[in-house]
Chains A and B, each alone.
Chain A
Amino acid sequence: MNPTPLLEKARQLRADFPILSQAHPSGRPLIYFDNAATAQKPRVVIERLSAFLATQNANIHRGVHWLSQEATHLYEKARETVQHFLGAASPEEIIFVRGATEGINLIAQGLRRAYFQPGDEIILSTLEHHANIVPWQLVAEELPLRLKPLPLTSAGAVDVSALPDFLSPRTRLIAITHTSNGLGTRTPIEEIVAFAKAHDIPVLLDACQSIVHEAIDVQKLPVDFLVFSGHKLYGPTGVGVVYMRHPWGRKLPPYQGGGDMIVRVTWEKTRYAPPPAKFEAGTPAIAEAIVLATAIHYITDTVGYDFIQAYEAYLTDLAEALLRDVPGLTLYGTARPRGPIWSFNIEGIHPHDLGTFLDSWGIAVRVGHHCNQPLMDALGVPATARLSLAFYNLPEELQTLQEALLAAVEFFHKPLPSLRHE
């Protein structure tokens, strides 16, 4: 593949992100490789947020005045943007939440009250983020339920061949990540959804790490629930999305009570609004939801998923080759297909020390357990360093990373003169 046209576009797009042209306090250029934690924001997103707050801010759904009508219109337009982005059948299926974590809690609590019976089972995977583990544990403790995590292949992908063994007459949900935040491996979700449909089991897809790299159409991939966070998709923090396939939104009870989610409140009996309002109690993140729509338009129209896929695949391969050249470096979870994420450790250097070292080079990576403690247990390590890339990263940044890693090996393994003590 000739990467030149891709590289040209990446350099152009990079200029859309003001934060990336900042120098690090060390005086070196900032190299941002922590995109799986949160993505940086393009200028259109920053300016849209500012413009909304400066000229259009009002509360929604209950004002007859000009600004409120304007804000309501923009908020509901944002919902339609998300609807079309996901291929959802109607805006009723799109619920704005604070983030994917709140989204999974909303679904888990709804299913607890309207769907699960004691003794039911949920199939998850060893790759799950804590946000797709703990909400189910909360429910499981109460009912009780049994949580069954699918094992991984030796290359760190979900082992789909274990599915038939994990299925039981009590299996009531498969809740699974699309792309691992810790390893970058992509779940063979098409197979899992086909299996689930054949056995009439609903599927919840944690799309936080996949939707930033690939387009998802819920008609082609007919999951029942899907969640993602806005801030990982180049939008603001404080807003996320639950896709809830009809008629789940009619079946599940509200998550929180309050304003905006009711039809009529009396002391005797309150009638709830239909979805999505039913699940959006109180004033939502109005500005953030509207700006999330701006981010989605930027990704689909300005950047384009075809470009993201092609360029990130190039970066992913380059990163792998450069990392493999570092002596003593172990890569975890190398299965393909994958997102542009690599988790690794270097022999004799704790990831926290490596993280501090890389920061002194202006390089931001994530070190730790990545909210993946059961995965770390399965890998047999307490923590890893994680490189996560975005379409604005450049090959020369990866070269600098390799240089820094080689310097880290030298620094932490340098011979020590004999010291005075002991």
Chain B
Amino acid sequence: MSSELESLYQEIILEHSRYPRNYGRLPQPTHHAEGYNPLCGDQVHLTLQVDGEAIRDIRFEGQSCAICKASASVMTSLVKGLPLSEVEQLYEAFHALLTAEEPPTFSHIAPKYQDYLLAFGAVRNYPMRVKCATLPWHTLHAALHESHHEPVSTENL
């Protein structure tokens, strides 16, 4: 087995894709959004319960590859209960981890979250798979910041 593949599919990723957390739909969400990657057909549907300035509850469902599903599972686990300002910070950090020219330092991210985010670090070496990992986060961003609910497509981000 190639070590590159082992670092792409770390155990956290395999485990979350096989046993996704927060899978399903909230019955009465305050926010929701649909994410779609037309290149591969990955699909993520998010429902959120936002209470004042924090995410009280969040669920995801959809059909997607292991990286996308694990990303959604990890993301929902991390942001549940978080103030929106911290959610924004994680979103920025995750995006930078996968797409910035220089991978960012995570000094401003609480250590308890770092391992989960860094597990996706190797995805940046697979350009065709970056969108698999970022789709749930873009969908979350859209759910929180966009009033209209057009599906988020990875092709017009």
Question: In the complex where A412-B66, A419-B15 touch, is A407 in contact with B41 (Cβ < 8 A)?
Answer: no
Bound together, the chains give a CA A129 to CA B40 distance in angstroms of 15
- Report if A367-B66 is in contact (Cβ < 8 Å); known contacts: A416-B11, A416-B14, A419-B11: no
- Complex CA distance for A349 and B65, rounded to whole angstroms: 8
Q: Is the CB of A383 within 8 A of B2?
A: no
B150 within 8 Å of A (CB atoms): no
- Tell me if A353 and B4 are in contact (CB < 8 A): no
With CB as the reference atom, state the residue of chain A lying closest to B116.
Answer: A421
B40 touches A367 (CB 8 A): yes
List the B side residues contacting A369 at CB < 8 Å. Answer: 40-41
- Per the CB 8 Å criterion, the residue count for chain A at the interface is 25
Q: Which A residue's beta carbon lies closest to that of B14?
A: A416
The answer to whether A360 touches B43 (Cβ under 8 A) is no
User: A411, B1: Cβ atoms under 8 Å?
Assistant: yes
Interface membership of A26, Cβ < 8 A: yes
A273 an interface residue at 8 Å Cβ cutoff? no
Report whether A417 and B5 are in contact in the complex, using a CB–CB cutoff of 8 Å.
no
Q: Is the CB of B5 within 8 A of A360?
A: yes
Contact of B126 among A356, A383, A414 (CB under 8 A): A356
Q: Specify which chain A residues have a CB less than 8 angstroms from the CB of B12 in the assembled complex.
A: 419, 421
| A272 interface residue (CB < 8 Å to B) | no
Which A378-422 residues have a C-beta within 8 angstroms of B? 382-383, 407, 411-412, 414, 416-417, 419, 421-422
**Contact yes or no, A383 B41, CB < 8 A:** yes
Please name all residues of chain A whose beta carbon is closer than 8 Å to the beta carbon of B21 when the two chains form the complex: 422
Q: Which of B5, B41, B63 has a CB less than 8 Å from the CB of A368?
A: B41
Known A-B contacts A407-B1, A411-B5, A419-B11; the reply to A356 vs B129 at CB < 8 A is: yes
- In angstroms, Cα B66 to Cα A367, docked, is 14
CA distance A166 to B72 in the complex (A): 44
Q: Verify B4–A352 contact, CB threshold 8 A.
A: no
Instruction: Write out the residue numbers on chain B whose beta carbons fall within 8 Å of the beta carbon of A368.
Output: 39-41
Chain A 350-366 near chain B by CB (<8 Å), digits 1 or 0: 11110011001000000
Given contacts A26-B2, A353-B66, A356-B126, contact A412 B14 (CB under 8 A): yes
In the complex the two chains form, what is the Cα distance from A412 to B43 in whole Å?
21
B64 neighbours in A (Cβ, 8 Å): 350
Residue ID in chain A nearest B64 by CB atoms? A350
- Extra contacts besides A412-B9, A417-B11, A419-B11 (5): CB < 8 Å: A350-B64, A352-B65, A369-B41, A416-B11, A422-B77
Can you list 23 contacts pairing A with B, beta carbon distance less than 8 Å?
A26-B2, A350-B65, A351-B65, A352-B40, A352-B67, A352-B129, A353-B67, A356-B5, A356-B126, A368-B40, A368-B41, A376-B41, A382-B42, A382-B43, A383-B41, A411-B9, A412-B14, A416-B18, A419-B11, A421-B12, A421-B77, A421-B116, A422-B21
